[in-house]
Amino acid sequence: MKNTESQTIFNEIKNTLLSFGLYHKVRSISTDGAKALISKKNGVVGKLAKDIPGLINIHCIAHRLNLGVSDGWKADTRLKTLNTMIYNLCRLFKKAPSKFRILQDYELEYLGYTEKLVSPLDIRWMSKYKAVCRILKLYPFIMLALTKLSKNKDEAATSLLLQLKDFKNIAYLKILEDLTDIINPLNNIFQSKNVSINRLHVSFTIAKTLLSDLAYKDEIYGDSFGNFIETISQKEFKFFGVKLIHKNDDLSFVKKRSHDLAKMMLFNLKSRFSDLEVLKEFEVLSYANLNQLNSINSNFFNYGNKEIENL
C-alpha cells in the first residue's frame, strides 16, 4: 500500500474482495484496535459498515491482552520510569558490542552460557514480561558489567547502576514478574494453532481470581515478590549481594503498591475483555465441536440452543 491511511486500507480491502466476488459476503472484521481501523466515522470499520449493514467488529483478543498489560505500565509513574530504564539498559548493551561482550563474559564465567536482554515493546506479545524476567535472572551479571563500565566513566552505565540499586525498582520488577506470570497462560493460548474460546474463558476466569486475591487480600503476595521481601528482611536489603538503596518506609510502600498494581491489572483486563461472555458462545459454531456430534446422543438435537439464544 502507498500509505496506512484508512481510505487507502479500505480501498485495498474492498477492491481485492470485489475481484473475488466476496465483498458483500463479509460479515465480520477483526483488527488490532488502531484508530485508522476501528473509527466508526472515518476508519476502515466505519467505511465497511456503510456498505455492509450489520458488520461485526472484533478487536483482536491477542492485541487486547497485550494492550491490557501495557496500559498498566502507562498508568503508574514509576512503571513508566521502569520501562524507560529497561529500554535504556537493553540499548546500552545492544548498541555497543564491546559492552555486550563484558556482560557475556560474566554470564559465561558464572552460568556457562549467555542470554540476551529483551526490549519491552508494546506491540510484541508479552515482551514486557520477558524483559522483566530476563533482568531478574541476569541481575548479578548486569550489575558486575555496569560497575566495570561505571569505573570507566560511562555516564549511562553509572545512571543505570544507581537505578538498579534502588529498592523500589527491584521490588516493582518482582511484583510485575508475579502479575505477568498470571497473564502468561492466556498469552500461550493465543499463540496456539487452534484457539478455543471456552479454554480461553476458563483461563481468563482463573487469571481474574488470582489477580483478585493479590489485589484484595492483605498479606497475600505473589511467589516472587513474597520471597523477595522475606529475603530482604533477613539480609538487610541485599539482593544477590548488592546492597539496595532504600528509605525506612519503602517496604510498607511496595507492599501496598503490590495490591494497587494487581487492582490496576485486574481492571484493565476486565475492561479489555468485557465481551468475553458473548464471544464464548460462538464456540458452538466450531467445526471441531460439530464434527464430534452423534445423532445417537440424546443431546444431539438440543446442541447449541442455549448459546444461540444467548447470542
Tens digits of pLDDT across the chain (311 residues): 888 889 999 999 999 999 999 998 999 998 887 778 888 778 899 999 999 988 888 888 777 777 777 776 777 788 888 989 999 999 999 989 999 999 999 999 999 999 988 887 765 556 778 889 999 999 999 999 999 999 999 999 999 999 999 999 999 999 999 998 898 888 788 777 777 788 888 888 999 999 999 999 988 999 999 999 998 877 788 999 999 999 989 999 999 999 999 999 899 888 888 888 888 888 888 877 777 787 676 678 888 899 899 88
Number of neighbours of residue 310 by Cβ within 10 angstroms? 11
Q: What is the CA radius of gyration of the chain?
A: 24
* Closest C-alpha to 86, from 125, 138, 147, 123: 138
Statement to judge: residues 134 and 18 lie in one domain: no
Query: Given 24, 59, 94, which residue is the final one in a domain?
Result: 59
Statement to judge: residues 307 and 263 lie in one domain: no
| 77, three cell numbers | 509513574
Statement to judge: residues 70 and 141 lie in one domain: yes
Q: What is the total count of domains within the chain?
A: 3
At 20-62, the pLDDT tens digits run: 999 989 999 988 877 788 887 788 999 999 999 888 888 887 7
Phi, psi of 116 (to 5 degrees): -85, 150
| pTM confidence score | 0.81
Distances (CA, A) of 181 to 187, 194, 242, 243: 10, 22, 25, 27
- Sign of the four-CA dihedral 143, 148, 150, 156: negative
Statement to judge: residues 25 and 68 lie in one domain: no
Return d(Cα 230, Cα 272) in angstroms, integer: 34
Distances (CA, A) of 29 to 21, 34, 37, 127, 140: 17, 13, 10, 26, 48
Q: Residue 295 belongs to what domain range? A: 280-311
Statement to judge: residues 95 and 16 lie in one domain: no
Statement to judge: residues 94 and 221 lie in one domain: yes
Return d(Cα 277, Cα 128) in angstroms, integer: 28
Phi, psi of 241 (to 5 degrees): 85, -5
Return d(Cα 223, Cα 100) in angstroms, integer: 31
Return d(Cα 275, Cα 174) in angstroms, integer: 31
Statement to judge: residues 241 and 182 lie in one domain: yes
DSSP state of 43: S
Statement to judge: residues 184 and 68 lie in one domain: yes
At 268-295, the pLDDT tens digits run: 888 888 888 888 888 888 877 777 787 6
Statement to judge: residues 137 and 32 lie in one domain: no
Return d(Cα 112, Cα 64) in angstroms, integer: 38
The answer to whether 263 and 212 are in contact (CB under 8 A) is no
Torsion of CA 8, 14, 19, 24, to 10 degrees: 180
Statement to judge: residues 52 and 18 lie in one domain: yes
Statement to judge: residues 94 and 3 lie in one domain: no
